[in-house]
C-alpha cells in the first residue's frame, strides 16, 4: 500500500492530492492513508501536509524500492519484481528461500542493510544501512551446471560497466571482485542449486560499497576495502546505480540465454581486468603459487603462466588470487 501511495504522490508531483482522493483511489480509510503517510515520512520521504489541500511529495527517500527505481529500468524481467527489506540477514539467503518456493527468474532481493552479509567460502560481508547496494538476483537459466560461473562473469561485467558509465574508473579482479586503487568496492557471490545436468536456480549476490565514508570502513578492512564515494569524492545515486546494473545485466545475460555464450561480458572483463599481464599469487586451500596472469578465455577461465613456462586455465571455485604485493 505504501508503494501505491508513493506512486500517486509521484504522479501528482508539485501538486497536492487530498487524503480523500487517495482514500477513494486505493479503497482504504482516510485514517489508514494518514498512517501510511506518517510511516513514509519516518522512512525519509519529505511529504508536505496542508489541511484542506492534502499531501504533496517534496523529496523522495534514498531507498532502493521498486517505486524508486522503475522509472530508470529498461529491462523486461530482471528487477521487475523487487523484495525490499529495511534490514535482513543476507540477500542471498533470502533469495534462495524464495527460489525454493518457486519465485520467478529476474526477481530481486534488496536489503538496506545485511546483518549476516556473506562472502565466498563462508566469509563475511560488511553491509551498513543505506550505504551500499546489497542485492541478489534469482535466475533460472537453462544451462549446464558447470557453466554457473558464467553468471559471475556477467555480474562482474554488469557492475563494472555501470560504475564506469557513472564516470568512475574501476577494474575487475577475477573472478568476483571490482576494485579501485587496488581496493575492493564490490564483491559478487554466485550460488547454485542443481542436479548433474540441470540448474534449478542460481542466485547472484552483489555487495557494492557506495556511500561509505572512510570511518565507516571497518578497521581490519582499511587496506583492502573502499567505496565509490571515497574514491570519487562524491556521493553516488544508489538508485541510478542499481538501475544501470540491472539494465546491463539483462543485456549481457540475454546473450547467454539466446546463444549460450558470454562474449560481450568477457570483452568487458578483459578490458577492465585488474590482473591480466600482472604477477599474481594463487591461493588454493592455504597453498600459494606464483604465476603471471595472461588472459581470460571465452568461458571466463583465467589463463596463467607458471615460472616453469607451463600454463593453466583457472576455474573460479575455491581459488583466491592476490597481487604480488598486497590485495591486487
Query: Which stretches of the chain bind ligand ADP, using CB under 6 A?
Result: 119-120, 123-126, 176-177, 184, 187, 207, 209, 221, 225, 320
> At 183, which helix (H) or strand (E)?
strand 183-195
The alpha-helical segments, DSSP class H, found in the chain are 2-11, 19-26, 30-43, 66-69, 91-100, 149-165, 228-232, 238-259, 263-271
Pairing of strands 82-85, 108-111: parallel
Q: Residue 224 Cβ, how far from ligand ADP at the closest point, in Å?
A: 6
Given the complex with ligand ADP, which of 53 and 129 has the nearer CB atom?
Answer: 129
Return the number of the residue (149 or 209) whose C-beta is nearest ligand ADP: 209
Task: Closer to ligand ADP by CB, 100 or 221: give it.
Answer: 221
Q: How far is the CB of 10 from ligand ADP (least distance, A)?
A: 32
Contact between 300 and 143 (Cβ < 8 Å): no
The conformation of residue 80, written as its DSSP 8-state character, comes to S
Taking the complex as a whole, the smallest distance from the CB of residue 105 to ligand ADP amounts, in Å, to 25
141 versus 175: smaller Cβ distance to ligand ADP? 175
Q: Among residues 54 and 207, whose Cβ is nearest to ligand ADP?
A: 207
The total of other beta-carbon atoms located within 10 Å of residue 240's CB is 14
Residues 289/280, Cβ–Cβ less than 8 Å: no
Minimum gap (Å) between residue 27 Cβ and ligand ADP: 43
> Is 32 or 168 the residue whose CB approaches ligand ADP more closely?
168
The residue sitting closest to ligand ADP, measured at its beta carbon, is: 119
Of 112 and 250, the one with the shorter C-beta distance to ligand ADP is 112
Is 314 in a helix, a strand, or coil? Answer: strand
Is 64 within 8 Å of 88 (Cβ atoms)?
no
Question: What is the four-CA torsion angle of 203, 209, 215, 218, rounded to 10 degrees?
Answer: 30
Interatomic CA distance for residues 163 and 205, integer angstroms: 17
CB of 209 to ligand ADP, least distance (A): 5
- Minimum CB separation of residue 281 from ligand ADP in Å reads 12
In whole angstroms, the minimum distance from the beta carbon of 178 to ligand ADP comes to: 10
Query: How many beta carbons lie within 10 A of that of residue 205, not counting itself?
Result: 27
Amino acid at each position: 500500500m505504501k508503494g501505491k501511495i508513493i506512486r500517486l504522490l509521484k504522479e501528482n508531483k508539485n501538486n497536492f492530492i487530498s487524503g480523500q482522493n487517495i482514500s477513494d483511489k486505493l479503497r482504504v480509510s482516510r485514517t489508514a492513508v494518514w498512517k501510511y503517510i506518517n510511516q513514509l515520512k519516518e522512512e525519509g520521504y519529505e511529504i508536505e501536509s496542508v489541511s484542506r489541500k492534502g499531501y504533496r511529495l517534496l523529496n523522495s527517500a534514498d531507498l532502493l524500492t521498486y517505486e524508486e527505481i522503475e522509472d530508470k529500468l529498461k529491462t523486461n524481467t530482471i528487477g521487475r519484481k523487487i523484495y525490499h527489506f529495511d534490514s535482513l540477514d543476507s540477500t542471498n539467503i533470502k533469495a534462495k528461500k524464495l527460489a525454493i518456493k518457486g519465485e520467478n527468474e529476474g526477481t530481486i532481493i534488496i536489503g538496506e542493510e545485511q546483518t549476516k552479509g556473506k562472502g565466498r567460502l563462508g566469509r563475511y560481508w560488511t553491509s551498513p544501512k543505506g550505504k551500499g547496494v546489497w542485492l541478489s538476483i534469482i535466475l533460472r537459466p537453462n544451462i549446464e551446471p558447470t557453466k554457473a560461473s558464467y553468471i559471475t562473469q556477467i555480474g562482474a561485467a554488469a557492475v563494472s560497466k555501470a560504475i564506469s558509465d557513472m564516470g568512475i574508473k574501476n577494474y575487475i579482479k577475477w573472478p568476483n571482485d571490482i576494485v579501485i586503487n587496488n581496493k575492493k568496492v564490490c564483491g559478487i557471490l554466485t550460488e547454485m542449486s542443481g542436479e548433474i545436468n540441470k540448474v534449478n536456480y542460481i542466485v547472484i549476490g552483489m555487495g557494492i560499497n557506495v556511500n561509505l565514508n572512510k570511518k565507516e570502513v571497518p578497521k581490519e578492512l582499511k587496506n583492502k576495502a573502499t567505496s565509490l564515494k571515497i574514491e570519487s569524492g562524491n556521493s553516488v545515486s544508489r538508485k541510478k546505480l542499481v538501475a544501470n546494473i540491472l539494465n546491463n545485466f539483462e543485456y549481457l545475460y540475454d546473450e547467454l540465454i539466446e546463444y549460450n555464450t558470454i562474449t560481450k561480458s568477457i570483452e568487458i572483463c578483459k578490458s577492465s581486468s585488474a590482473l591480466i599481464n600482472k604477477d599474481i599469487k594463487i591461493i588454493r586451500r592455504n597453498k600459494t603459487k606464483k604465476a603471471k596472469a595472461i588472459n581470460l578465455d571465452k568461458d571466463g577461465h583465467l589463463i596463467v603462466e607458471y615460472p616453469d613456462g607451463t600454463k593453466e586455465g583457472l576455474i573460479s571455485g575455491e581459488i583466491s588470487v592476490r597481487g604480488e604485493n598486497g590485495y591486487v
